[in-house]
């Protein structure tokens, strides 16, 4: 509980921060905390489910430039979940998230430009966004380090064959 409240406390009382870096850190961590709290309220995890509290916390996180919160708000406004359907607001939130390098938000923005939903239709802009998403996703794949213990490793077909062969050998020896 303390871990969740500390960012809020630091964000509300910046005088406690020792320097500008600490203040910026508290600001960023508070955005993540608001987003996490919004998710908890949305699904009812550890708190009583409350869609209005979820929406409020997503908005607070989005104000702190939290890309995932901005994307989630875009989704909510696009689908009309928890809020009245508003494609213009969805488009705005996707733009904010895309500006914060949220790759899926960039893709959704491209789709909205292509279909003319929430904005004026602009196929050229959509294609430029799709090309940017493709470049960024390819760059992410090139930078993926399968030897890193922190990355999620997607096994290749060869890896799967090795794993199943080992499992069969293990089962035959028992």
pLDDT tens digits for range 11-25: 554 444 444 444 444
Cα–Cα distance, 29 to 61 (Å, whole number): 10
Residue 76 in any domain: the answer is no
Tell me, yes or no, whether 137 and 96 share the same domain: yes
pLDDT of 115 above 90: yes
Does residue 33 lie within any of the structural domains?
Answer: yes
Flag whether pLDDT at 8 surpasses 80.
no
82-104 burial code (b ≥16 CB/10 A, e <16): beeeebebbbbbbbbbbebebbb
Per-residue pLDDT for 152 more than 80? no
Residues 20 and 50 in one domain: yes
Residue 21 lies in a domain: yes
Quick one: angle between helices 2-12 and 20-43, nearest 10? 130
> Per-residue pLDDT averaged across 143-161, rounded?
51
pLDDT(47) > 50: yes
- Residue 137: the pLDDT is 82
**How many domains, the chain?**
2
Whether 166 is in a domain gets the answer no
List the CATH number of the domain containing 117. 1.25.40.10
With respect to residue 156, please indicate whether it lies within any of the assigned structural domains.
Answer: no
* Cα three-residue angle 6-49-8, rounded to 5 degrees: 15
141 and 86 in a common domain: yes
Indicate whether 60 and 33 sit together in one domain: yes
The string over 22-52, giving b where at least 16 C-beta atoms fall within 10 Å of a residue's C-beta and e elsewhere, is ebeebbebbbebbbbbbbbbbeeeeeeeeee
Clarify whether residues 45 and 7 are in a common domain: yes
Which range of residues forms the domain containing residue 128? 81-146
pLDDT of residue 69: 95
N- to C-terminal Cα separation, the chain: 46
Question: Are 94 and 133 found together in one domain?
Answer: yes
* CA-closest candidate to residue 92, choices 119, 111, 116: 119
User: CA-CA distance, 125 to 109, in Å (whole number)?
Assistant: 10
pLDDT of residue 82: 82
Q: Is residue 125 part of a domain?
A: yes
Q: Model confidence over 52-109: pLDDT tens digits?
A: 999 999 999 999 999 999 999 999 999 998 899 999 999 999 999 999 999 999 999 9
Rounded percentage of the chain residues whose pLDDT exceeds 70 = 63
């Amino acid at each position: 509980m303390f871990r969740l409240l500390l960012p809020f406390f630091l964000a509300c009382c910046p005088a406690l921060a020792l320097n500008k870096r600490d203040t910026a850190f508290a600001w960023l961590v508070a955005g993540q905390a608001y987003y996490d709290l919004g998710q908890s309220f949305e699904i009812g995890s550890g708190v009583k489910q409350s869609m209005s509290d979820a929406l409020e916390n997503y908005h607070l996180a989005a104000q702190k430039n939290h890309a995932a919160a901005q994307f989630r708000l875009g989704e909510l406004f696009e689908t009309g979940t928890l809020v009245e359907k508003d494609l213009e607001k969805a488009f705005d939130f996707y733009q904010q998230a895309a500006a914060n390098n949220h790759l899926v938000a960039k893709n959704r923005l491209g789709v909205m430009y292509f279909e003319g939903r929430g904005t004026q239709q602009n196929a050229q802009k959509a294609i430029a966004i799709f090309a940017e998403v493709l470049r960024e996703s390819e760059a992410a794949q090139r930078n993926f380090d399968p030897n890193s213990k922190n990355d999620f490793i997607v096994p290749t077909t060869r890896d799967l064959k090795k794993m199943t062969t080992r499992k069969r050998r293990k089962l035959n020896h028992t």
